[in-house]
Amino acid sequence: MDVTLITFLKDLILEAGEICKKEQPLLKPLDIEYKNKKDIVTTTDKKVENFIIEHIQKKYPSHDIFGEETGKTHYNSDYTWIIDPIDGTTSFLHQQPFYSISIAVQHKDQIILGAVYAPAFNELFYAQTESGAFLNTMPIHVSCTAELIHSVMATGFACLRADLDQNNLPMFCKIVPKLRDIRRYGSAALDLCYVACGRLDGFWEYHLNLYDIAAGAFIVKQAMGSVTDFRGASDFPHQGIVATNTHLHTQLLDNFKTE
């Protein structure tokens, strides 16, 4: 692994986080646009993404980029940077701390590097292939919880924000009574990182995009967790995403089986 690449990514995402810290208290109604009646984007989302892209293109001009707000470039590079400038925009807008910046680096068809930064908590999660996962400078590992009834999990409702007919409510009502408790943080990238460091035992959600989960899912895997779609296969997030500490994976997946 190129040491320069991980160092560049960590420095870049921390700098992007400083923009979020400065701008969150200053947000005004005029700083909001609506993708649909529930889904919003702020001027800070766009500013952060532009900042990240500008620095990537200066350092790695031949690399492709896939950003939530700007879409994909098409340089036919083996490398693609996958960017969610603010995952948890609703939390960010409402002056809540549970938002993050998520950046992953894909080489050909494989994620090789990922970082998720939570500016409000000064917490940087990152991982690279075969090197483990870290929170700031400390190694992290998934939890050891072995039964659903002893677990704390998280989920989200991007499906409701998109007004989809298929949504997470029936599954939520089916799964939650089987758990110790449930959390709703509002950032899939953070949810995944919390699975990676053992704060959560598992996470599931419908209707996410690659930029929502690319870095976080990779960090879970490098922290020795399991990530699949709802069928136990690898077509996530298109067929849903389930992330656990491995011990709970089959138990959670059983809830998604159709009769």
For residue 25, what pLDDT is reported? 96
Where do the structural domains in the chain lie, given as residue ranges?
3-140, 148-256
Residue type, 50: N
Structure confidence by residue, pLDDT tens digits, 237-251: 999 999 999 999 999
What's the rounded Cα separation, in Å, for the pair 179 and 160? 23
CA dist., res. 242 & res. 107, Å (int): 23
Start-end of H helices in the chain: 3-23, 43-59, 89-93, 158-161, 169-175, 188-196, 210-222, 249-253
Tens-place pLDDT, residues 94-138? 999 999 999 999 999 999 999 999 999 999 999 999 899 999 999
Residue 246, judged by CB atoms within 10 A of its CB (0-12, 13-18, 19+), counts as: middle
Grade residue 169 by pLDDT with cuts at 50, 70 and 90.
confident
Q: Does the pLDDT at position 158 exceed 80?
A: no
Give how far the C-alpha of residue 153 lies from the chain's centroid of Cα atoms, to the nearest Å: 15
* Averaged pLDDT for residues 159-172: 73
Chain mean pLDDT for the chain: 93
Distance between CA atoms of 96 and 121, rounded to whole angstroms?
11
**In CATH, what number does 3-140 get?**
3.30.540.10
Answer CATH for 148-256 from 3.10.450.50, 3.40.190.80, 2.40.50.140, 3.40.109.10: 3.40.190.80
* Same-fold call for 3-140 versus 148-256: no
10, amino acid identity: K
- Rounded average pLDDT over 190-194: 98
Tell me the pTM.
0.95
User: 58-63, long-range: CB within 8 Å, 24+ apart, which pairs?
Assistant: 59/8
DSSP SS3 for 118: strand
Q: How far apart are CA 61 and CA 227, in angstroms?
A: 32
* Burial call 41-80: b when 16+ CB within 10 Å, e when fewer: bbebbbbbbebbbeebeeebeebbbbbbbeeebeeebebb
Percent of the chain at pLDDT exceeding 90:
85
Q: Looking at residues 167-179, what average pLDDT do you find?
A: 91
